[in-house]
Amino acid sequence: MSALLDRVPKQLYIAGKWRDSADGSRFEVRDPGTEQVLGEVADGQASDAGAAVDAAAGAQEEWAATAPRERGEILRRAWQLMTDRADSLAELMTLEMGKSLAESRAEVTYAAEFFRWFSEEAVRIDGRYTRSPAGGGGRTLVTRQPVGPCLLITPWNFPLAMGTRKIGPAVAAGCTMIVKPPQLTPLSMLNLAGLLAEAGLPDGVLNVVPSTSASRVVEPVLGDPRVRKLSFTGSTEVGRKLVGQCARHLQKMSMELGGNAPFLVFGDADLEAAVRGAVTAKMRNNGESCVAANRFHVHESVAAEFTRRLTERMAAMKTGHGTEDGVEVGPLVDGGQRDKVVKLVEDAVSRGAIAEAGGKPLSGKGFFYPPTVLSGVPPEARILREEVFGPVAPVTTFADEDEAVRLANDTEFGLVGYLFTSDLDRAIRVGERLQTGMAGINTGLVSNAAAPFGGIKASGFGREGGAEGIDEYLEVKYLALAVNAP
């Protein structure tokens, strides 16, 4: 483990060079399972952010002019390197973020897949050529060009995948970038920067500036009109502030913000499949995901049986340090995250909910919270309105389809909803009525590099992944032609 940590770069990555921060300061990164220090990382200052913008802006023109195939091949090599090194990438992620090794391996595959997907999209940036409706030699040529230098702000919950799904399309489109990784889990991103350099990414295209102060890095970057795009994954609260910061230079934005995903189980659902889907939708990534099912609305005819089976599965999951054999549930990322889960569960129980499994944090070192199922959760419980970001499944009931849809949509968020039914008409009908950017029908997993991930309402705007993902990094350019032809 220490050899792995020794190999990981811990400096800023600017213009293809590893360097200390302007004032030489560093910050500690800790293992949330032991609370021990894993290493010290350079703490980016405002002038470092300025240097990163200079590097990205300086590299932009030449990078935009590279052949799309060349950009695609760099991404393909990066996919291969990630695949070859999956075990060490996963171990590093588990150490800094906490999730089990199995979860980290799944994330490495998911993360690498964004590079493979966008290596294939790089050569499919299309345009059109049309004759003017009025004729007389007028022609319209529409092409798409890279938007320019981008600021990519990534969260701690998926230290690699939330980076690759921004870096992949930016590289494919021909944009340069400044990445601000999370303070809690910067090591995976720094490691990835080294891997991308090995894959052949030219100096200055990717710059990484970790910092203990997001605003210290973000303000000078967004305050610079050469930066043309922001892609942010994080809370709605921070997203709202960043939207305001982009107003000055009218930078293009993608906002992947908070969620409050409903999980609907209808009376005609295959209950076994619904329970399996529920465990995936709730427990993937320790529940620390914006697409995690946040509340379970179950038809009253099957609620008792669904709760019994869900409780049995969740209670059997092994909690422990993510690197231990057989562990499925690692620690939460830090004390603040665990306190939030504790408070939301206490609030629900104080209002009459029953903890069928779990319900209390584990004592000792590390930020452990066991898989928890709450039944009889009353409508006024905060956990039904706020994103818990932890392994807690609150269950409530509904009487008919209209009530299920009303409950599902009764939130300011609109990222994803899940529904289980064996009636195809109902599946499509309810899927269409959900006010979300995505719906999982008889599945607890929607995340897929080949599909457009994103939300509506307070969950943000813009799409990541799929054929749509590269559009966020391109601008439409129209050339009007006058030709000597009819």
Choose which of 56, 152, 290, 341 interacts with ligand SIN (CB under 6 A). Answer: 290
Q: Which residue has the tokens 């030489």?
A: 24
Q: Which stretch binds ligand SIN (CB under 6 A): 41-49, 194-202, 283-291, 302-310?
A: 283-291
Binder to ligand SIN among 45, 94, 100, 157 (CB under 6 A)? Answer: 157
- Assigned token pair, 120: 């294939």
d(C-alpha 5, C-alpha 331), whole Å: 20
Q: Which of 150, 175, 246, 290 is catalytic?
A: 290
Minimum CB distance to ligand SIN, residue 167 (Å) = 14
Sign of CA dihedral 469, 473, 476, 477: negative
Distant-in-sequence, close-in-space partners of 400: CB < 8 Å, separation ≥ 6: none
Of 31 and 256, which CB lies nearer to ligand SIN in the complex structure? 256
**Judged by CB under 6 A, does residue 60 bind ligand SIN?**
no
Active site includes 256?
A: yes
Nearer to ligand SIN, 344 or 357 (CB): 344
Q: Which of 101, 265, 291, 458 binds ligand SIN (CB under 6 A)?
A: 291
CB atoms under 10 Å from CB of 422, counted, come to 13
Residue 425 beta carbon to ligand SIN: minimum distance, rounded to whole angstroms: 28
Tell me which of 21, 119, 188, 233 binds ligand SIN, using CB under 6 A. 233
Interface region with ligand SIN, contact rule CB under 6 A, candidates 25-33, 157-165, 183-191, 200-208:
157-165
Q: Which residues are CB-neighbours of 484 under 8 A, at least 6 positions away?
A: 137
Q: Give yes or no for residue 154 binding ligand SIN (CB under 6 A).
A: no
What one-letter code names the amino acid at 64?
A: A
Q: Which stretch binds ligand SIN (CB under 6 A): 89-97, 112-120, 154-162, 327-335?
A: 154-162
Number of Cβ within 10 Å of residue 435's Cβ equals 16
CA 78 vs CA 198, 453, 478: distances in Å: 8, 22, 33
Contact 279, 313 (CB under 8 A): yes
Return the number of the residue (340 or 365) whose C-beta is nearest ligand SIN.
Answer: 340
Least separation in angstroms between CB 475 and ligand SIN: 26
Phi/psi at 254 (nearest 5 deg)? -125, 130
438 to 457: interface string for ligand SIN, x by CB under 6 A? ---------x-----x----
Is 175 catalytic? The answer is no
Closest CA to 454 of 292, 256, 162, 238: 256
How many other C-beta atoms can be found within 10 angstroms of the C-beta atom of residue 327? 20
Q: Which residue has the tokens 């150490």?
A: 95
- Phi first, then psi, for residue 25 (nearest 5°) are -80, 160
Determine if 289 is a binding residue for ligand SIN (CB under 6 A).
Answer: yes
What is the smallest separation between the CB atom of 317 and ligand SIN, expressed in angstroms? 19
3-class secondary-structure state, position 405 = helix
In the complex, least distance from residue 472 CB atom to ligand SIN, rounded to whole angstroms:
15
Tokens of 295: 């509340």
| Chain residues that interact with ligand SIN, rule: CB under 6 A | 157-158, 161-162, 233, 256, 289-291, 447, 453
- Residues marked active site are found at 256, 290
